[in-house]
């Protein structure tokens, strides 16, 4: 008896494309989330200028009965400038690709370009903050490095610093509810951290860390929010800055250095110019050469950034309790 199998009568076409594309691993983009947003006008020059009035001295000396006015104060202000910069990238796609590929190449390439642009916005902000914001080394942990791993006292210290600087918190508190395992959440600043620190946060459960799942309600929690410690709510992302093996103790053991950005409202401002952001540009092959072979897809955007309240931002540098090798 002869049995016909795929070994001697295989399918004419061996593969078919699964109905949906696989997801593209993409970090959460926290930096753009916490920025103030400002748009420079068209024909507005190259530089966005911010003005912040300075406080006048409170008149605490009584006038007395002399009838003489006190000397006038001279109002002053701080000027902060940021220069606009332009960015862009694109793809050149031959018409044969568009003609022959089974998937909508232009559609998914457009999507990728858009994500690349948004990620560029976030990375620029990330690196700018690393460059320009002042730093506090964590000292509340016990691992002996400088900085140490995060201890709850570090959260307290940074929040105290920002409070003392009269920074504005982002979030109002969440009142406690009669639900098992939950606890009230304080009004809070945001801290932008690495996902690699989540195990260290978990180690602080019972010492002050409250997982987002243990909020009385997580209606106000952001998608990347991992939890809170005292007056700081923690957003994590895999793209948060890390300097690998940047710290060593006396025995030569290495640890990674993490930059946790703790900030209040208006600390960082993201600036675009006249909506010159998220320009997706498609040029038909008609515009390329005499045989019109290649289409182009590109994105471009304009962006500037500034620390607009230097008193409302600190980078809390830390190492991990132990390097887990991930």
Rounded least distance, CB 189 to another protein, Å: 16
Rounded least distance, CB 187 to another protein, Å: 18
Tokens of 83: 């220069």
Rounded least distance, CB 127 to another protein, Å: 4
Q: Does 322 bind another protein (CB under 8 A)?
A: no
First-to-final CA distance of the chain: 57
Rounded (5°) CA angle 275-278-282:
120
CA distances from 223 to 43, 293, 299 (A): 37, 43, 26
Tokens 């003489």 belong to residue: 68
Q: Does 172 bind another protein (CB under 8 A)?
A: no
The three-class DSSP label of residue 198 is helix
Tokens of 242: 């890390």
Please provide the DSSP assignment of 43-107 as one string.
T--SEEEEEEEPPPPP--S--TTS-PPPPPP---EEEEEEE-EEEEEEEEEEHHHHHH-SS-HHH
Q: Which of 160, 166, 199, 279 binds another protein (CB under 8 A)?
A: 166
Q: Which of 148, 212, 224, 236 binds another protein (CB under 8 A)?
A: 148
Q: Which of 49, 163, 202, 275 binds another protein (CB under 8 A)?
A: 49
Q: Which of 41, 54, 176, 213 binds another protein (CB under 8 A)?
A: 54
Phi, psi of 204 (to 5 degrees): -95, 5
Q: Does 222 bind another protein (CB under 8 A)?
A: no
Q: Does 43 bind another protein (CB under 8 A)?
A: no
Rounded least distance, CB 88 to another protein, Å: 11
The smaller minimum CB distance to another protein, of residues 35 and 210, is found at 35
Name the residues that contact another protein, by CB under 8 A: 46-47, 49-50, 54-58, 78-85, 92, 123-124, 127-128, 130-140, 144-148, 164-166, 241-243, 245-254, 257, 288-289, 294, 304-307, 310-311
């Amino acid at each position: 008896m002869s049995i016909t199998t795929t070994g001697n009568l295989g399918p004419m076409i061996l593969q078919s494309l699964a109905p949906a594309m696989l997801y593209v691993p993409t970090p959460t983009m926290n930096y753009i989330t916490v920025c103030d947003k400002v748009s420079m006008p068209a024909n507005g020059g190259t530089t966005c200028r911010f003005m912040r009035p300075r406080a006048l001295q409170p008149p605490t000396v009584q006038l007395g009965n002399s009838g003489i006015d006190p000397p006038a104060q001279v109002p002053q202000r701080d000027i902060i400038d940021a220069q606009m910069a332009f960015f862009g990238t694109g793809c050149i796609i031959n018409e044969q690709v568009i003609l022959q590929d089974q998937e909508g190449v232009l559609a998914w390439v457009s999507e990728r370009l858009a994500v690349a642009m948004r990620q560029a916005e976030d990375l620029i902000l990330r690196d700018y903050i690393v460059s320009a914001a002042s730093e506090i080394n964590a000292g509340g942990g016990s691992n002996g490095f400088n900085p140490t791993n995060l201890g709850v006292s570090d959260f307290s210290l940074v929040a105290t610093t920002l409070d003392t600087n009269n920074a504005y918190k982002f979030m109002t508190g969440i009142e406690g509810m009669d639900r098992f395992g939950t606890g009230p959440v304080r009004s809070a600043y945001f801290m932008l951290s690495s996902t690699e620190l989540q195990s260290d946060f978990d180690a602080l459960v019972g010492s002050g860390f409250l997982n987002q799942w243990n909020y009385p309600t997580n209606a106000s929690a952001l998608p990347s929010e991992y939890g809170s410690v005292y007056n700081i709510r923690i957003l994590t992302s895999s793209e948060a800055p890390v300097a690998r093996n940047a710290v060593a103790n006396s025995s030569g053991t290495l640890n990674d250095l993490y930059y946790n950005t703790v900030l209040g409202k208006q600390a960082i401002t993201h600036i675009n110019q006249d909506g010159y952001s998220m320009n997706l540009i498609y040029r038909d092959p008609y515009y390329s050469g005499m045989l019109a072979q290649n289409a182009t897809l590109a994105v471009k955007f304009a962006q500037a950034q500034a620390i607009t309240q230097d008193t409302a931002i600190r980078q809390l540098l830390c190492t991990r309790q132990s390097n887990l090798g991930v």
